[in-house]
Homo-oligomer: A and B are copies of this chain.
């Protein structure tokens, strides 16, 4: 009754494409006006579909947001893995940090909806939907890297320090996105300094750290033994 098979494939393809369009539209609309102010109608329109089609894919508005969230989670993971992959330990850690921040900044710019998800998640915890929050995931994935690179960082503190780094960069990215030039980009440009200086005390070699060299680095190494509470 559904017709020959070769028809069903394009049908599925069309369906898939429509789903993507809806997610993209949702990302755009959520980003522009926020979760609450975004109307399902506006999303459907932005996706050039009908409201009915939106509800064919998602049982309700929250589920639509959750799907968006999941999609970004995936993308962020991929992004992360790419940066982590082409990095062996010969690369100075500052460079890795820089690459990550750059990568995220690029991601932020190319995926405007990402910020919406990020912010909405920040706004209401009830919205934390599937699995963990994005930033938490990021921090977790950062830990093994830290383990290799920061011998002066006590294992127990890894999670905390990674979270600080992620949240701080996140804040700069959001700020940059909201506040346009010139202050926005200028602040974002400082993110690297902020993180590199923060992490420097935990690193072994001051492998060309932007934040200091020579004995100063050594000094920092020692003071890096923070006691979290």
Give residues in A with beta carbon < 8 Å to B: 33-37, 119-120, 122-126, 159-161, 163-164, 167-168, 170-172, 174-175, 178, 182-183, 185-187, 189-191, 193-194, 197-198, 200-201, 209-229
Contacts and interface: CB of A to CB of B under 8 A. Distances in A.
A187 B200 contact: no
B211 A217 contact: yes
A123 to B, nearest CB: 5
A223 B206 CA distance: 13
Nearest to A33: B124
A37 B200 CA distance: 42
Contacts of A170: 171
Contacts of A36: 34-37
Contacts of A228: 185-186, 189-190, 229
A216 B211 contact: yes
Residue among A172, A186, A200, A220 facing the most chain B CB atoms (10 A cut-off): A220
A226 B220 CA distance: 11
Given A160-B189, A211-B217, 16 more contacts: A34-B36, A160-B186, A163-B187, A164-B191, A167-B172, A182-B229, A185-B229, A189-B228, A197-B220, A211-B220, A212-B212, A212-B216, A212-B223, A216-B217, A216-B220, A225-B226
